Homo-oligomer: A and B are copies of this chain.
Amino acid sequence: MASLLRTAGRARSVLPRTIPHATSRVAPIAFQRRHASAAAAAVADSSEQSFFPDEPTAPIIKTEIPGPESKKAVERLSKVFDTRSLNMMADYSRSYGNYIADLDGNVLLDVYAQIASIPVGYNNPALLLAATSPSMASAIINRPALGNFPQHDWADILESGILSVAPKGMNQVFTGQSGSDANELAYKAAFMWKRQQQRGGAHVDFSHEDISSSMNNQSPGAPDMSILSFKSGFHGRLFGSLSTTRSKPIHKIDIPAFDWPQAPFPSLKYPLEENEAENAKEEQRCLAETERLITEYHSPPAAIVVEPIQSEGGDNHATPAFFRGLRELTKKHDILFIVDEVQTGVGATGKFWAHEHWGLSTPPDMVTFSKKAQTAGYYFGNNDLRPNKPYRQFNTWMGDPARAILFRAIIQEIKRLDLVSSTAATGNYLFDGLQRLAERYPSEIHNLRGKGQGTFIAWDSPRRDEVLKKAKGQGVNIGGSGEQAVRLRPMLIFQRRHADLLLERLERIFQE
Q: A191-B254, A253-B221 are in contact. Are A114 and B143 (CB under 8 A)?
A: yes
| In the complex, A87 has a CB within 8 A of chain B | yes
B-binding segment of A320-328, A349-357, A386-394, A417-425: A386-394
Across the interface, which residues of B come within 8 angstroms of A29, CB to CB?
134
Alpha-carbon distance A91/B214, docked complex (angstroms): 38
A82 cross-chain contacts in B, Cβ below 8 A: 147, 174, 386, 390, 393
Interface string of A78-92 (1 = CB under 8 A from B): 011111111111111
CA distance A133 to B131 in the complex (A): 10
The chain B residue sitting closest to A155, CB to CB, is B77
Complex CA gap A210/B253 in Å reads 7
**B217 near A84: Cβ-Cβ < 8 Å:** no
| Contact of A49 with B by CB under 8 A | no
Q: A28-B135, A84-B390, A114-B143 are in contact. Are A249 and B180 (CB under 8 A)?
A: no
Residues 112 to 140 of chain A near chain B (Cβ within 8 Å): 114-115, 117-118, 122-124, 127-128, 130-138, 140
Q: How far is the CB of A490 from chain B (nearest CB, A)?
A: 15
Q: Is A317 an interface residue (CB 8 A)?
A: no
User: What CA separation (Å) do A363 and B393 show in the bound complex?
Assistant: 35
Identify the stretch in A283-291, A395-403, A431-439, A443-451 within 8 Å (CB) of chain B at 4 or more residues. A395-403
Q: Would you call the interface of chain A mostly helix, strand, loop, or mixed? A: loop
Look across to chain B and name the residue whose beta carbon is closest to the beta carbon of A147: B85
> A83, A141, A222: which has the most chain B beta carbons within 10 Å?
A141
A71 within 8 A of B: no
Interface string of A143-164 (1 = CB under 8 A from B): 1111111111011001100010
Q: Complex: how many Å from CA A150 to CA B173?
A: 31
Complex formed: what's the CA distance from A218 to B87 in Å?
32
User: Which listed segment binds B: A258-266, A454-462, A503-511?
Assistant: A258-266
A43: chain B residues within 8 A (beta carbon)? none
Contacts of A32 in B (CB 8 A): none
A1 within 8 A of B: no
Q: Point out the residues of chain B lying under 8 angstroms from A80, CB to CB.
A: 155, 158-159, 163, 171-173
The answer on a CB contact under 8 Å between A89 and B392 is no
Which residues of B sit under 8 angstroms from A397, Cβ to Cβ?
A: 117, 178
- Inter-chain contact A92/B151, CB cutoff 8 Å: yes
Annotate A16-57 by CB proximity to B: 1 below 8 A, 0 otherwise.
Answer: 000000110111110000000000000000000000000000
In the complex where A114-B149, A253-B392 touch, is A141 in contact with B128 (Cβ < 8 A)?
Answer: yes
Asked if A216 is at the interface of the complex by the 8 Å CB criterion, the answer is: yes
Contact assessment for B206 and A249 in the assembled complex, using a CB-CB cutoff below 8 Å: yes
Q: In the assembly, what is the distance between CA of A255 and CA of B210, in Å?
A: 11
Contact A141 B127 (CB under 8 A): yes
Would you call A223 an interface residue if the criterion is a C-beta within 8 Å of the partner chain's C-beta atoms?
yes
The residue of chain B having its C-beta at the shortest distance from the C-beta of A116 within the complex is B396
Cβ contact within 8 Å between B224 and A256: yes
Q: How far is the CB of A52 from chain B (nearest CB, A)?
A: 13
| In the complex, chain B residues whose CB is within 8 Å of the CB of A158 | 80-81
Q: Which residues of B contact A171 (CB under 8 A)?
A: 79-80
A238 on the interface (CB 8 Å rule)? yes
Copies of this protein in the complex:
2
A141 CB contacts on chain B under 8 angstroms:
122-124, 127-128, 130-131, 406
- Chain B contacts of A253 at CB under 8 A? 206, 210-211, 214, 221-222, 392
The answer on a CB contact under 8 Å between A237 and B394 is: yes
Asked if A181 is an interface residue, CB under 8 A from chain B, the answer is yes
Residue numbers in B under 8 Å from A26 (CB-CB): 26, 132-134, 137
Q: How far is the CB of A255 from chain B (nearest CB, A)?
A: 6
Given A92-B151, A150-B90, A406-B141, the answer on whether A238 and B237 have CB atoms closer than 8 Å is: no
Question: Are A154 and B77 neighbours in the complex by a CB distance under 8 Å?
Answer: yes
Interface presence of A281 (CB below 8 A):
no
Report B-chain residues with C-beta under 8 Å of the C-beta of A217. 243, 252, 257-260, 262
CB distance from A266 to the nearest CB of B (A): 18
* CB <8 Å contact, B221 and A249: yes
How long is the Cα–Cα vector from A88 to B144 in the complex, in angstroms?
11
Nearest 6 A-B pairs (CB), nearest first? A239-B240, A84-B390, A217-B257, A222-B257, A92-B142, A28-B138
Q: What are 17 A-B contacts defined by CB distance under 8 Å?
A: A26-B137, A80-B171, A90-B149, A91-B151, A91-B152, A114-B396, A115-B396, A131-B141, A140-B406, A180-B395, A187-B239, A191-B256, A217-B260, A218-B259, A221-B249, A237-B394, A250-B392
A residues contacting B by CB (< 8 A) are: 22-23, 25-29, 73, 76-77, 79-93, 95, 100, 103, 114-115, 117-118, 122-124, 127-128, 130-138, 140-152, 154-155, 158-159, 163, 171-174, 177-181, 184, 187-188, 191-192, 195-196, 206, 210-211, 214-218, 221-226, 236-241, 243, 246, 249-260, 262, 370-371, 374, 386, 389-397, 402, 406
